[in-house]
């Protein structure tokens, strides 16, 4: 029997200290595995695969949970994405975008294995779950040899498939601060076939907090249009303090399209992506408005 996937050793640490110890010992040669759906499709010859000699399975570390604590919601890094899409915590109001994004991620079969932490750590620019977490200002908790540290999600993505995690660190959980009920969030994803497995041509998440019709806070996150998923700050500043008219939303959408720096690739041209950013941001802002009861 030919070995399909070349790995020297498969580690099954029983607790966090063991996991960190193994990662510290093998450094760049080791990789954390949770669901495995991003790691297994790597092919020999793909540069990242050649450096993986040790897989570190984190399934025994108890990182599969979704819970509500005093002023925030905690999601364990190894929580599978179907658990997020089914959780009543995210079904309505201020967290709706997370449920939307989880439901739009890959397919039901893959979501049974794929994890939220894996989606973030893979650090793809089109990571569906990164966008709602960006507009919710999520805080990521990672642990390494020197203990745990908090990383704001905005500074987590460093480049294409490159995150702020050190080689010996494990992502533990994602904290989302409770949003007020006045906040509405939404996520939209454009792909070549809307029901089939595919990565996004463009994906966006937005959040709006409104009092009467006046916007108090706004978030716009864009995916698949730059090396990393990011917040479109200039477009957000168009909204904050303004009365949310059609005109203002249109202006913010156009600004978001300007901030996008897409490339041509197999899925779409850069020009098409820019146009679609404006359309998706506008629709997503309209959704967010409806969800905050405006």
- Per CB under 8 A, the list member of 29, 72, 113, 167 interacting with other proteins is 113
Q: Is 112 in the site for other proteins (CB under 8 A)?
A: yes
Query: What is the b/e burial string over 194-230, where b = at least 16 CB atoms within 10 angstroms of the residue's CB?
Result: eeeebbbbbbbbbbbbbeeeebebbbbbbbbbbbbbb
- Per CB under 8 A, the list member of 16, 23, 33, 172 interacting with other proteins is 33
Length of the chain: 294
Q: Which range, of 100-108, 141-149, 175-183, 285-293, touches other proteins by CB under 8 A?
A: 100-108
List binders of other proteins among 206-265 (CB under 8 A). none
Sign of the alpha-carbon dihedral angle for 171, 82, 95, 65 = negative
List binders of other proteins among 46-75 (CB under 8 A). 55, 57, 59
- Our CB check for other proteins shows the closer of 113 and 251 to be 113
Q: Is 10 in the site for other proteins (CB under 8 A)?
A: yes
Q: Which range, of 32-40, 201-209, 238-246, 281-289, touches other proteins by CB under 8 A?
A: 32-40
Minimum Å distance from CB 124 to other proteins? 15
- Our CB check for other proteins shows the closer of 43 and 212 to be 43
Angle, helices 270-291/246-259, rounded to nearest 10 degrees? 140
Q: Quick one: which H or E segment has residue 206?
A: strand 202-211
Minimum Å distance from CB 102 to other proteins? 13
Minimum Å distance from CB 76 to other proteins? 17
CA angle 45, 46, 52 (to 5 degrees): 95
- Per CB under 8 A, the list member of 17, 108, 148, 271 interacting with other proteins is 108
Minimum Å distance from CB 107 to other proteins? 4
- Helix (H/G/I), strand (E/B), else coil: 135: helix
Fill in the DSSP letter of residue 200: -
For 74, the token pair is 């905690």
**Cα–Cα distance measured from residue 117 to residue 99, given in angstroms and rounded to the nearest whole number:** 15
- Per CB under 8 A, the list member of 195, 212, 246, 266 interacting with other proteins is 195
Q: Which residues does residue 159 pair with via DSSP β-bridges, in sequence order? A: 162
Around Cβ 285, how many Cβ atoms within 10 Å? 28
Q: Is 5 in the site for other proteins (CB under 8 A)?
A: yes
Q: Quick one: which H or E segment has residue 216?
A: strand 214-223
- Per CB under 8 A, the list member of 69, 71, 88, 196 interacting with other proteins is 196
**Cα–Cα distance measured from residue 14 to residue 21, given in angstroms and rounded to the nearest whole number:** 12
Q: Is 1 in the site for other proteins (CB under 8 A)?
A: yes
CA 231 to the chain's CA centroid: 12
- Our CB check for other proteins shows the closer of 199 and 256 to be 199
Binding site for other proteins (CB under 8 A): 1, 3-10, 12, 33, 36-37, 40-41, 55, 57, 59, 106-110, 112-113, 195-197
């Amino acid at each position: 029997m030919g070995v399909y996937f070349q790995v020297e050793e498969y580690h099954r640490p029983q607790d966090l200290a063991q996991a960190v110890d193994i990662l510290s010992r093998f450094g760049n040669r080791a990789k954390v595995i949770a669901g495995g759906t991003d790691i297994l499709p790597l092919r020999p010859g793909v540069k990242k695969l050649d450096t993986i000699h040790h897989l570190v399975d984190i399934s025994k570390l108890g990182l599969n949970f979704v819970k509500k604590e005093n002023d925030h919601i905690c999601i364990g890094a190894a929580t599978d994405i179907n658990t997020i899409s089914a959780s009543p915590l995210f079904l309505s109001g201020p967290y709706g975008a997370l449920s939307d994004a989880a439901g739009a991620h890959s397919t039901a079969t893959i979501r049974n294995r794929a994890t939220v932490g894996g989606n973030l750590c893979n650090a793809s620019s089109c990571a569906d779950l990164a966008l709602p977490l960006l507009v919710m200002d999520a805080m990521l908790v990672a642990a390494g040899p020197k203990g745990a540290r908090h990383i704001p999600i905005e500074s987590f993505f460093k480049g294409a498939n490159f995150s702020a995690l050190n080689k010996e660190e494990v992502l533990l959980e994602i904290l989302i601060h409770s949003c007020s009920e006045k906040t509405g969030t939404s996520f939209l994803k454009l792909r070549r076939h809307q029901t089939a497995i595919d990565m996004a041509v463009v994906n966006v998440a937005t959040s709006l907090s409104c009092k009467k019709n006046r916007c108090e806070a706004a978030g716009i996150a864009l995916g698949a249009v730059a090396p990393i998923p990011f917040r479109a700050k200039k477009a957000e500043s168009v909204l904050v303090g303004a009365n949310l008219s059609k005109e203002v939303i249109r202006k913010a959408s156009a600004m978001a399209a300007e901030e996008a720096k897409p490339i041509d690739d197999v899925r779409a041209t850069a020009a098409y992506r820019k146009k679609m950013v404006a359309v998706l941001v506008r629709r997503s802002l309209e959704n967010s408005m409806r969800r905050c009861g405006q």
